[in-house]
Structure 1
């Protein structure tokens, strides 16, 4: 089998040509700040941002949402230690934001397992420091200190960003764009509780007021809603692809991450929501989108529901993903991770 030969489900048979893909990357280094909430897709997003060429990751914040914040911060530090290939000077900021509606506990506990992965704990030492300030204040500092515009990638709730905007609205002038995985504009949600109307997505439901604060800002926003990821379900073929390429440490790490999905996603489909958001920020050509105007409710059982309206704020909604291009870039990045030892 050739290096990283992909069969059947995956169309690329020769992805060893990482240099060619990297030469096509943007020539100018772009600044990114990632805020995630410690679940499988979030950790994969951090991994990919550490492996992407020709960008600079200036900071990482972790929110206590889809995963518990303490193991999430710890695992993030270890992931940076292991996969920080560009040598970005990084620290991890712990969020002290609290939810209006917390994620189900059964979903959140996987962050403890990730923190104990052997691939992240070989040295027994964690070097990446914890930021001195909570995540929303850390983000303000990092944005102001950046040597150019900053692209924000949020794969969890928007609360830290909303709090930052309330404290220092001037950060908007240095933010190039916000890429957010959250919400749904087609009325189909994944929150099924007695106090919701089933139209909400969990990152929005966690704190509807924060969504409204961000939507009322002047930030440029690209939204990856639930309807955006239908081409990227987690399948048995995908898992096997990770398994067959576990000689590459990034693939081994990702394989173990997604082996945890069964612990809480029984009889349902898991999509690569956060990963698509991150990859679309790194490689905009992998998605199709449309411009629209939208707003969000904050009251009653409809709180957290997004809707299109001519009176809403302009934003971009991702409508589909280019499956082949997504995996071409994903596999190239994972193969590029340095071997252990």
Structure 2
């Protein structure tokens, strides 16, 4: 029996690549995708998500639209990336996606998907955690259907990647967008594994990687993935910002769990400036036990990506 997986993403380039990666995994069944309007504008991100499902003939997978907006907005230029994705040659002429406002809300889809699941569900979140927390607050019984939550979030023993006013640089963006619900997620004490910057910093998207991927562009999936990652090169490098395998690494944990080094820690989320969104190792009354990935077998990870992306869309299981 395939493992049931529910995905929540926030529309960035690496989120959409993570959708593609999940779709290549033969041992999982993706039962739903919800989209958070964090690192994206909602409408084009839903269109991008649907286009990827069309390419892989998986349009039956339901999509939910996030209706919650976080405390600290992502930069608009980052949020606009799905507009570019939708104009790529392999995607622009696909049939139109559904009206986003005809889709169920992300919270409603999460609740319905978990309630209907006949086995425990793994949840992979590559954006903020708000939809999941809101769904559990509305329907607490669904927590019993969750096998594990894998979240690309946090920065524990390394600097954050938030550089903005009234912030000291200690937070990671997915947590910073909505630190209040992030702390609530910790307090729910779900089986939670975080894939933080501590480990994603080990796997950059560099020119050598892009060059090697381009050499297998005869494969449709590699071709499209290479186009996606090419849209990030204006960030590689900049003065303060380098693109990493944030969401892709977190998604790969579904298949490569045994190649990660994981620690049990006591931690909390700070909710106020100047370090709002910092995931702080702590023994305070607000802290909870969580698992964090601290290392990964990089050779296995990169080899896995190159192998998974050697696929034609119609050959995806």
TM-score (norm 2): 0.92
Q: Which residue in 1 is equivalent to 2:205?
A: 234
Match of 1:223 among 168, 175, 194: 194
Aligned to 2:25: 52
- Aligned match of 2:265: 292
Structure 2 counterpart of 1:276, from 228, 249, 262: 249
CA distance 1:129–1:199, shift in 2 (3 Å): closer
Q: How do 1:1-341 residues align onto structure 2 when only pairs under 5 Å count?
A: 28-84=1-57, 87=58, 89-126=60-97, 132-186=103-157, 188-264=159-235, 266-267=237-238, 268-311=241-284, 312-338=287-313
Greater mean deviation of Cα atoms: 180-189 or 73-82: 180-189
| Equivalent residue number for residue 4 of structure 1 | none
1:299-318 CA-to-partner distances (Å, cap 9, x unmatched) read 23222111112352111110
Moved more, 237-246 or 326-335: 326-335
Distance 2:168 2:76 in 1: 21
User: CA RMSD of the aligned region, Å?
Assistant: 2.0
Distance 2:276 2:202 in 1: 28
Q: Which runs of 5+ in 1 are unaligned?
A: 1-27
Q: Deviations over 1:133-192 (max 9, x none)?
A: 211221111111111101010000111112112111111100001000111112511111
What residue is the counterpart of 1:24 in the other structure? Answer: none
- Alpha carbons 2:120, 2:146 under 8 Å: kept: yes
Deviates more, 1:298-307 or 1:94-103: 298-307
Native 8 Å contact 1:208 1:297 kept in 2 = yes
Does structure 2 conserve the Cα–Cα contact (< 8 Å) formed by 1:90 and 1:128?
Answer: no
State how far apart, in whole Å, the 2-side matches of 1:89 and 1:325 are. Answer: 32
What is the distance in 2 between the residues matched to 1:97 and 1:260?
27
Report Cα offsets for 1:120-144 as digits up to 9, x if no partner: 2444354899873211221111111
User: What is the rounded CA distance, in whole Å, between the counterparts of 2:99 and 2:211 in structure 1?
Assistant: 32
Q: Tell me the distance in 2 between the aligned counterparts of 1:236 and 1:135.
A: 36
Distance 1:136 1:153, change over 3 A: same
Q: CA deviation at 1:225?
A: 0.9
| Length, aligned pairs only | 311
Deviation at 1:106, TM superposition (A): 1.7
The answer for unaligned runs of 5 or more in structure 2 is none
In structure 2, the residue corresponding to 1:300 is in which secondary structure? coil
- 8 Å CA contact retained: 1:51, 1:83: no
TM-score, length-normalised on structure 1? Answer: 0.86
Structure 2 residue matching 1:270: 3-state secondary structure: coil
SS in 2 for 1:335: coil
Is the 1:92–1:128 Cα contact (8 Å) retained in structure 2? no
